[in-house]
Structures are given as structure tokens and as C-alpha cells.
Amino acid sequence: MQLLAGQESYMRALLEETAARSARYSAAVRGMRLAPQPQDIARLKGLGGPLPQNPSDPKETLALLDDIGSPATLASTGGRYFGFVTGGALPAAVAANWLAAIWDQNAAFSVMSPVAAKIEEIVLAWTVELLALPQSSGAGFVTGTTMANFSALAAARTALLQRSGWDVEDAGLFGAPPLRVVVGEEAHVSLLKALALLGLGRSRVISVPTDGQGRIKSEALPELDERTLICIQAGNVNTGAFDPAQDICSRAHEAGAWVHVDGAFGLWAAVSPRYAPLLQGVSLADSWAIDCHKWLNVPYDSGIAVVRAPEHLQKALATAAAYLQTSDVREPSHYTPESSRRARGIEMWAAIRSLGREGLRTLIERNCRWARVFADRLQQAGFEVLNEIVLNQVLVCFGSSEETRRVIAAVQEEGTCWCGGTQWHGRTAMRISVSSWATTEEDVESSLAAILRIAKGRKS
């Protein structure tokens, strides 16, 4: 067959077909079982087979992807997915994502995409205002918090070593003055991964004890100095708890240390006057890692690394070459590990533009309210909730580890909702993370009914 793509009428038909299939999925997702059935997963092999030798009709490719791929998705955008910390995808963000795919912009340099570059500037200004971070901060738009941690910690490494006259970008870490890296015992694994990637070591860190909710005990902090990097957390992945930023930041800054905040989802709580007090002192830090595919509810993948003194982020990550035409404006790739990349600021812009501060506040507070409803009702039914419900995370035990594991597996199998498991201070628990704009009261009720039915051992 002759490849027709590129012809205007063909492209229009293909896009209309794509819109129709996407709309069908979107309408169905609320009623879908959460996890695909084994037979749906088995059918995925139909996407493989021998390497295609010749071009074929793009519509056929689309149909194959939809017919085989859609049933094998987790229905995570439907409102009853409570696994990991997973936001849905806001309508405006999905629509912007489609348009951006048609634009196919390379967000590396402003000359390659003035719109992508400008949107990043706007999103940065809006984000620091929403989250009450310093207005003069710089930022890199990255894939998620893992890379946001990596980028911000690279800036910290640059700045701290520069104080000893060491240029880590030129000289590497061989023979460098040692840095002291302090983390909480409950630091997220992605933070440790970022430290490992930066040559700072996963286990060379000083690990500070935490309390029953996973908060750093600031009285247990080691001695800090101007070559110390201390990493704190705003929103523990299990409990939602916040490290005591005010205390840590003031002690760290007296000593000249750098404070980095892993605020993957918790930082978004700053938009709610009700939850903002949890973040007291967070804005005093030197850098922050934030996810946008979590509580901002943009499609994957999206995160942002914010650094109070942008020159450190730029020194750590900028590149220069004769053929790379730059200008006086902010160059996006001077703040990210990648050069060429998609213009992921576009969905963030659409999300913030369409929700506004008020819409985002409502989303955050509604999710926190649902988390409280889950916790209260599970407790009333006689099950043990392990954490204080400070935010949108619930940890619940259904008796022995074995019984809790049984309930988690059966909930996933039954398909009304999806919750994962974890270990919290030696106990096996189910995690319920309420992070999607799409979750309604009805979703919470039907999910609770399913969980309670399964936990009480009833068939239906």
C-alpha cells in the first residue's frame, strides 16, 4: 500500500479516528475493571511478531494499538486507582498534550521552539507563586521527581564544592573535597538513586532517625557545615508526613549547609491554606523536586527541579557548542540533564491555566477529604490504620501480614479499585493514595464497599 500520511485529508481522517478511539476509551474508563485480565495481557503478544518489512496503513497500526493495547491498560485515569501516588490526567492537560504532539516541538533551545521556551518561563513563575517558593528561582522541566532530585542535587553538589574552590563539572569527583550528605531514614529510594548517579553514594550518606510517621527527628541531626547537603521530604510516600523543615532549614543555614526538599507530591499542598502549615519552613530551602504527573494531574511524564540560585543549576547542567545557537533569553536545556526533549511544560501550563489556584486547591482538599473518609470507615469497620491522616495517604492493616496480603491481592483481582501494598515499620499494609482529580464520592463509596466486602471475607 502506498503511504498516505502527510496528505491533508488522510491526516485529518487519522486524527478523527484517533479522537474517536480516545473518546471511546475515556468514556469507558470509569466502568472498566482496574487491572487488565490475564487474557488481555496475553494478547499483548499480538503487538509483536516478525519485524514489519514494509509500510502499512497508519490507521491499521492505530487500530491494532487500540484493540490490543487499550484492554491491557491499568484504568488509572478512571477515579478508582489508588496505587503508588498516581494523578489522573486533567482534560485541559490531555488536550494540550495532543496539540503538542502535533506541534512536535524540541524544547531544548528557544530557537527550536519559542512557544516551549516561553511556556516554561510562564509555568515556572506560576509554580513558584502557587507553591510559595522564591520568585527568583530557576527550574528545569524533567521527567519526574527522580530526575528533579538528580538535577537539583547536581546543583547542590556544584555549589557546595565550588565553596572549596573545586569545579566538579571540569574535575569530576576524583580527589574532590568530601561532601557530607544527610538524609532521613525514610528518604524515598529515588533520592538515593539520584545521589548514587551523582557519585555521592547511596550508603555513604548519614541517615537520621525518623519518628513513627517517618519524619526526621531534627534533634538527631549530625553536625552540619558548609560542605553538608541535607535532603528532607515534604510528603512521605507511605504516610504523607512532612519533615520539620523550619527547624532543619534554620539549623542548616546557620551552618552554611544546603537543604534540598523532595516534595514529589507534598509540595502541592502549599496551595491549600488548610494544608500549607504542614510545609512551614519549606520555602527556606535551597532546592525542591516536584512531580507534576502526581498531584498536578498532567499526563506522564512530568516533573520540575526548582533551585533558589539558578546559576548553580545552570553551571551543573548547561552545555555549549558552536552549532548550538543560544540567545539572551532563558534556554530550557541549560537547566536539564537532557538536550532534546519534548515540551512537557505545555501540559503543566494547561493544567494550571484551566484549574487556577482555586481549582487546584479544591482538587487537593477533595483528595485529602477522601483519604480521611477511607481511613475513618476502615477504622470503624475494625481495621487498623497505621498513619496519622495528614494528607492523601492511608496505610491500613487487615490483621496478620498474610491476611493483609490476601486482601490486597483480592482487591486487585476483583477490579473495582486498585490499591498496592507496602511495609511500614515492620507491618504489612495496604496503601491508599488519593491523588486523582477524577475521584468522586461515588468512587470512594464503591471502592470502600469492595475493600470491606473482601476484607470481611464475603463473596459479593
Ligand X SMILES: Cc1ncc(COP(=O)(O)O)c(C=O)c1O
Report the interface residues with ligand X, using CB under 6 A. Answer: 84-85, 144-146, 188, 190, 233, 235, 237, 262, 264-265, 291, 303
What minimum distance in Å lies between the beta carbon of 286 and ligand X?
A: 17
Residue 262 or 286 having the CB closest to ligand X: 262
Nearer to ligand X, 127 or 146 (CB): 146
What radius of gyration, in Å, describes the C-alpha atoms of the chain? 23
Going by C-beta distance under 8 Å and a sequence separation of 6 or more, which residues neighbour residue 409?
none
> Is the preceding omega at residue 443 within 30 degrees of 0, hence cis?
no
Whichever of 258 and 268 has its CB closer to ligand X, that residue is 268
The residue number with the shortest CB distance to ligand X is: 144
Q: Decide whether 36 or 235 has the Cβ nearer to ligand X.
A: 235
* Rounded least distance, CB 143 to ligand X, Å: 7
Shortest reach from residue 235's CB to ligand X, in Å: 6
* Residues 287, 306 contacting (CB under 8 angstroms): yes
Residue 233 Cβ, how far from ligand X at the closest point, in Å? 6
Q: How far apart (Å, rounded) are the C-alpha atoms in residues 71 and 263? A: 33
CB closer to ligand X, 36 vs 303: 303
Longest Cα–Cα distance of the chain, Å, equals 72
Q: Between 389 and 448, whose beta carbon lies closer to ligand X?
A: 389
Shortest distance (Å) from residue 240 CB to ligand X = 10
- Cβ closest to ligand X, residue 70 vs residue 367: 367
Least spacing, CB of residue 293 vs ligand X, in Å:
6
d(Cα 198, Cα 162) in Å, to the nearest integer?
16
For the CB of residue 244, give the shortest distance to ligand X in the complex, in Å.
Answer: 16
* Pick from 429, 418, 419, 350: nearest CA to 384: 429
Long-range CB pairs of 39-45 (<8 Å, 24+ gap) are 40/71, 40/72, 41/72, 43/68, 43/71, 43/72, 44/68, 44/69, 44/72
Quick check: 335 and 329 in contact, CB under 8 A?
Answer: no
What is the smallest separation between the CB atom of 360 and ligand X, expressed in angstroms?
Answer: 18
Do 216 and 250 touch, CB atoms closer than 8 A?
Answer: no
Asked whether 360 and 268 are in contact (CB, 8 A), the reply is yes
In this structure, what is the dihedral angle of CA atoms 78, 272, 423, 208, given to the nearest 10 degrees?
150
Closer residue to ligand X in complex, CB, 86/110? 86
Rounded Cα distance, 263 and 315, in Å: 23
- The nearest distance, CB 15 to ligand X, in angstroms, is 30
Q: What share of the chain is helix, strand, coil (3-state, %, to 5)?
A: 45, 15, 40
DSSP 219-270: GG-----TTEEEEEEBS-TTT--B--HHHHHHHHHHHT-EEEEE-TTGGGGG
Please, which residues bridge with residue 260 across strands? 231, 287
**Alpha carbon distance 361, 153 (integer Å):** 29
Nearer to ligand X, 32 or 153 (CB): 153
Cβ distance to ligand X smaller for residue 234 or 408:
234
| Nearest alpha carbon to residue 318 among 58, 310, 180, 273 | 310
Smallest gap from Cβ 265 to ligand X, in A, equals 6
Of 141 and 265, CB closest to ligand X: 265
Least distance from ligand X to the Cβ atom of residue 37, Å: 26
